[in-house]
Amino acid sequence: MTTYHVPSGSMAPTLKAGEYILVDRTSRGTAERGTVVVFDGEGYFGGSSRYWVKRVIGVGGDRVRCCTDDGKLEVNGHALDEPYLPRSLARASAVDFDVAIPQGHMFLLGDSRDNSSDSRDHLGDPGGGMVPVTRTQGRVTRVVWPLTDGRDISH
């Protein structure tokens, strides 16, 4: 297990800026749809941070599309239930997209979609916003600081 600092509100309401999270390193190099992971975005995601915290939306072989008529993401032809999104979000993404995830890669989004720099911002870049699964540092399991906000994180 390793701890990481949450630098922004891009994962709210699941994670808040300033919290410290516990990451299960035994899941390093793996990705499961719906889980929150820390990954090394160097060369794939720009910005000043090397490590990013996002939710895995699609994995190799998946097709992810935004959006259905009622504003939901669609994965492999099925509307995605996303109870972790902020209630104020009227649509799962302001950006329309339709992507096929290559084997060994993942497509990642923040829960606070209006405040998140994620795979959608890199659709036109080399790699198309996809990050190799081997870049995952592990799955987020728990908020550990501040102590009063400690809680388990599940998908």
* Residue of 16, 49, 54, 88 marked catalytic: 54
Structure tokens, 46: 């720009």
Is 10 one of the annotated active-site residues of the chain?
yes
Q: If DSSP codes are grouped into helix, strand and coil, which group holds residue 79?
A: strand
The model's pTM is 0.95
For 43-54, what is each residue's pLDDT tens digit? Answer: 888 766 789 999
* Residue of 8, 10, 93, 112 marked catalytic: 10
Single out the residue of 41, 98, 89, 42 nearest to residue 68, CA to CA. Answer: 98
- Please give the radius of gyration of the chain, using alpha carbons only, rounded to the nearest integer: 14
Q: Point out the least confidently predicted range of 18-27, 63-72, 123-132.
A: 123-132
Is 72 one of the annotated active-site residues of the chain?
no
DSSP state of 6: -
Is the pLDDT score of 129 beyond 80? Answer: yes
DSSP state of 82: -
Q: Whole-angstrom distance between the N-terminal and C-terminal Cα of the chain?
A: 18
For 74-125, what is each residue's pLDDT tens digit? Answer: 999 999 999 999 988 989 999 999 999 999 999 999 999 999 999 999 998 8
Token pair 């390093």 is found at 28
d(CA 65, CA 98) in angstroms, rounded, equals: 4
d(CA 79, CA 43) in angstroms, rounded, equals: 31
